[in-house]
Amino acid sequence: MSAKIIDGKQVAADIRKELKAEVSALKEKGVVPGLGVILVGADPASQSYVTAKERACENIGIYSDDNRLSAETSQEELLALVDRMNNDPKINGILVQLPLPKHIDEPTVLLAIDPDKDVDGFHPMSVGKMMIGEDTFLPCTPHGIVQLLLRSGVETEGAHVVVVGRSNIVGKPVANMLLQKKEGANATVTLCHTRTKDMAHFTRQADIIIAASGWPNTITADMVKDGVVVIDVGVNRVDDASRERGYRLVGDVDFDAVKEKASLITPVPGGVGPMTITMLLYNTVESAKRANGMA
Ligand code: NAP
């Protein structure tokens, strides 16, 4: 069997099209969703993420308030900017690009964001609400994974999902979302990490594997059963002299071998990646609707 590819670019494009229509309908009612973006320092990867987020906002008609601050910005200055955005009615979502420079305490900054504008879903209030199954802003990458499963027709109810990785931004939240007593969830979830003994024992039982370890080939063909659905979250650079830039991007899964056993699989790039920014746009539009009593 060779797996069907889950085309994250297409799913993301479909959602963005829906959001674009929603944004124009909101504009007709005088509501323009706004995203406040804060980048501290000049880390090239962060700069390109922020540029991509701003471009995505522009494409669907979301107003973006772009703030690129020097690496020497103090924590007080950053908190003052967050406070200004918390009180600015044009801003429905606040995005502080992580990581922050070492002299700034990330948890303090995340805690300062108004939970009603926490479109990244990293505020402890949002995390707590997600955990107990209340409506809240869901973190973008895990939410994107759940949407990919849903829109690919994958049944999660009663499925055994094995998540590899327990980070606060991917592994833990996606595991949590899928075990909720809700439609599009209701899975039996196993969470694996570096201290898991004999991880293949668990992955071989999985109906769905979500790989978020940050290492190539964490999941190999001998670790999966026939017909498994594989969501590969990893983005890893491996040397490749045949490419002009000297490297290529791969996921955490041995794609070529695993796709021969899987029923559905996401590629890297073009799988989970395009969904992350899309769900940020989704949360920003949701926030604008909530702020205007339309949700
Ligand atoms: P992270 O914070 O480094 O966490 C990695 C997790 O994987 C840890 O819990 C670690 O276990 C576990 N792990 C590492 N190697 C393992 C192994 N061999 N077996 C079992 N568990 C293992 O990474 P992250 O931020 O969650 O990101 C994971 C990957 O997803 C990265 O490649 C990242 O670039 C990518 N990512 C992609 C997107 C996107 O939009 N496409 C978004 C976010 C992240 P311990 O806790 O025991 O150390």
CA of 199 to the centre of ligand 1 (A): 15
- Rounded CA-CA distance 118/139 in Å is 9
Q: 156 near 149, Cβ under 8 Å?
A: yes
Q: What's the chain's average pLDDT?
A: 97
Helix (H) or strand (E) holding 130: helix 124-131
CA-based radius of gyration for the chain? 19
3-state DSSP assignment of residue 294: coil
Question: Which residues neighbour 80 within 8 Å (Cβ) at sequence distance 6 or greater?
Answer: none
Given the residues 65, 118, 120, 254, the one annotated as active site: 120
User: Structural domains in the chain?
Assistant: 31-114 (3.40.50.10860), 140-274 (3.40.50.720)
**CA 185 to mean position of chain CA atoms:** 17
- Answering whether pTM is above 0.85, one says yes
Mutate which of 120, 138, 193 for ligand 1? The one with the most ligand atoms within 8 Å of its CB, which is: 193
Q: pLDDT-derived band of residue 154, with 50, 70 and 90 as boundaries?
A: very high
Mutate which of 235, 247, 253, 275 for ligand 1? The one with the most ligand atoms within 8 Å of its CB, which is: 235
- Rounded CA-CA distance 146/140 in Å is 10
Q: Indicate which residue's Cα is closest to atom 41 of ligand 1.
A: 273
Ligand 1: nearest atom to the Cα of 166: 9
Which pair of tokens denotes residue 213? 């370890």
* Arithmetic mean of pLDDT, 130-156: 98
Question: Which residues neighbour 92 within 8 Å (Cβ) at sequence distance 6 or greater?
Answer: 33, 34, 35, 117, 119, 284, 287, 288, 291
- Rounded CA-CA distance 67/40 in Å is 8
Given the residues 53, 117, 172, 259, the one annotated as active site: 53
**CA 69 to mean position of chain CA atoms:** 24
97 among known catalytic residues: yes
Determine the pLDDT at residue 11.
Answer: 98
Q: What angle do CA 12, 273, 59 make, to 5 degrees?
A: 45
Q: Indicate which residue's Cα is closest to atom 40 of ligand 1.
A: 273
CA of 201 to the centre of ligand 1 (A): 20
Q: pLDDT, tens digit, for every residue of 41-94?
A: 999 999 999 999 999 999 999 999 999 999 999 999 999 999 999 999 999 999
Q: pLDDT-derived band of residue 182, with 50, 70 and 90 as boundaries?
A: very high
Which pair of tokens denotes residue 5? 């590819």
Ligand 1: nearest atom to the Cα of 251: 32
Give the strand order in the sheet containing 34-40. Answer: 63-69, 34-40, 93-96
Which pair of tokens denotes residue 128? 């707590």
3-state DSSP assignment of residue 34: strand
H-only helix segments in 132-219: 140-151, 171-179, 199-203
Determine the pLDDT at residue 173.
Answer: 98
Q: pLDDT, tens digit, for every residue of 12-28?
A: 999 999 999 999 999 99
- Rounded CA-CA distance 92/94 in Å is 7
Closest among 89, 83, 85 to 108, alpha carbons compared: 83
CA of 68 to the centre of ligand 1 (A): 27
Q: pLDDT, tens digit, for every residue of 103-121?
A: 999 999 999 999 999 999 9
- Rounded CA-CA distance 168/122 in Å is 8
Q: What angle do CA 100, 114, 13 make, to 5 degrees?
A: 75
Determine the pLDDT at residue 295.
Answer: 86
- Rounded CA-CA distance 265/271 in Å is 9
For residue 232, pLDDT over 90 is answered with yes
Q: Indicate which residue's Cα is closest to atom 30 of ligand 1.
A: 234
Q: Is any ligand 1 atom within 6 A of the Cβ of residue 253?
A: no
Determine the pLDDT at residue 107.
Answer: 96
Mutate which of 138, 141, 194 for ligand 1? The one with the most ligand atoms within 8 Å of its CB, which is: 194
- Rounded CA-CA distance 39/47 in Å is 7
Determine the pLDDT at residue 279.
Answer: 98
For residue 1, pLDDT over 90 is answered with no
Q: Is any ligand 1 atom within 6 A of the Cβ of residue 148?
A: no
* Arithmetic mean of pLDDT, 263-277: 97
Ligand 1: nearest atom to the Cα of 195: 47
47 among known catalytic residues: no
Helix (H) or strand (E) holding 240: none
53 among known catalytic residues: yes
Q: Is any ligand 1 atom within 6 A of the Cβ of residue 195?
A: yes
